[in-house]
Amino acid sequence: MGSDLAKPVSLVLSRFRLFLGFVSLLLFPMLVTLRLSQADSSKMWRLKIAKRLEEAATHHNSLKTSTFPKEKNQMSTVQVPAIDMNKLNAFIGQFVTDLGAAVHTGMVVIGEKLGLYKALAEGPMSSAQLAAKTQTDERYLREWLASQAAGGYITYDEQSGRFSLSDEQAFTLADDNSPAYLPGAFELALGSLAAVPRIAESFRTGAGMGWHEHVDGVFHGCEKFFRPGYAANLVSTWIPALQDVKLKLEKGARVADVGCGKGASTILLAKAFPNSHFFGFDYHDKSIEAARESAQRNGVAHRVSFEVSKAKEFPGTNYDLVAVFDCLHDMGDPIGAAAHVRRSLAKDGTWMIVEPFANDQLKDNLNPVGRVYYSFSTLLCTPCSRSQEVGLCLGAQAGEARIRDVVTSAGFNRFRRATETPFNIVYEARP
């Protein structure tokens, strides 16, 4: 009996798959073959896509109740859902944008690595002139320049045939000391994606992946991604938002930067407050080596030390300030780390916790910033926490309520949101 029922069900499913395959063949060649000529505007391009999609959807809707012959000349009706043209157009438009952004990531990393943005910031150039200046291949450059102009990352002058950077593009792409420098974010994204095969397997096994196990692009990109935000806000806004901390730093304080990575935050503070001493800790030895070199280059090595240590084990007591920048959620046992921070603080010390901006409810994080953080959290933050003891996995969008729970569970009596930016929230905790 079961076998008799399985045959018609299998036949219907098989024919339904064939139908979906037909729709796919109708839609995707349109996206592949539809090329935008120089004379076409983006509006015309969207109209062409909409027309092709409407034709496909009209055909699909005409078959939404389709009849297929069954075995022994019987008939079977398959219900196919109708297509809403407005929703389909919007979703395909999002797909094209996202696909372009995905491959664009590699283009930005190439542009920074080869000094192409810095060269273009000096003035308009043809592809041949840029090739000569940067000692790169002109043919490759032509494709790269076209991709960047199409994405709005460089400016193309049709009359002269030359490419350039606007002031805004140069500020964000060519000046690595800019508070809005962008290429680091793309390097971090590209490096994170190298872990996709392993993370996909972790979905099945639940295994973690330590921070140290990622490719070097993750470490370099992370430092370059966060440093502009720290440079723009740490000294000017975040420190003044903490009770009495700026005055202590100006007079001379002991500061621990836990999870310091390559030391960007530590060195920014050290340069701003020359009377204080700073101690950076991170479990990743390669990052600590890079931090020490950076301290030497910046002339603060006599007041800044970097040591390899875990967040629950870093040495020292009587710190006036302990800071954690964008890493509490990465820790396997953040409550244990918080308890250790409390023991290390001076009686009137302060714990500054900088976390990615997040609301407490998922529905309030479903926006472009939340999308970035949830994606990075899937590839980096959650696997990192899972690889450690406890493996609490707060995630990069933990929100204030969960951070408060961690902090108060460790014995802190005072906790507040001190300030925020569109990308970060700064919390203050005191014993």
Residue 90's SS3 state is helix
Q: 345 to each of 173, 303, 323, 348, how far by Cα in Å?
A: 40, 19, 11, 8
Q: 371 to each of 199, 228, 365, 392, how far by Cα in Å?
A: 18, 20, 8, 21
Domain ranges in the chain? 2-83, 96-175, 193-430
CATH number of the domain at 96-175, please? 1.10.10.10
Report pLDDT digits (tens) over 4-31: 434 443 443 444 444 444 344 444 444 4
pLDDT at 77: 59
Q: Is the pTM of this model over 0.95?
A: no
Strands 414-420 and 254-258: unpaired
pLDDT at 37: 39
pLDDT beneath 50, residues of the chain: 1-41, 65-66, 68
pLDDT at 2: 43
pLDDT at 81: 73
Contact 221, 190 (CB under 8 A): yes
Name the CA dihedral angle for 144, 149, 152, 156, rounded to a multiple of 10 degrees: 140
CB neighbour class for 51 (10 Å; exposed up to 12, middle 13-18, buried from 19): exposed
Q: 353 to each of 22, 36, 239, 249, how far by Cα in Å?
A: 54, 49, 11, 17
Architecture of domain 193-430: 3-Layer(aba) Sandwich (3.40)
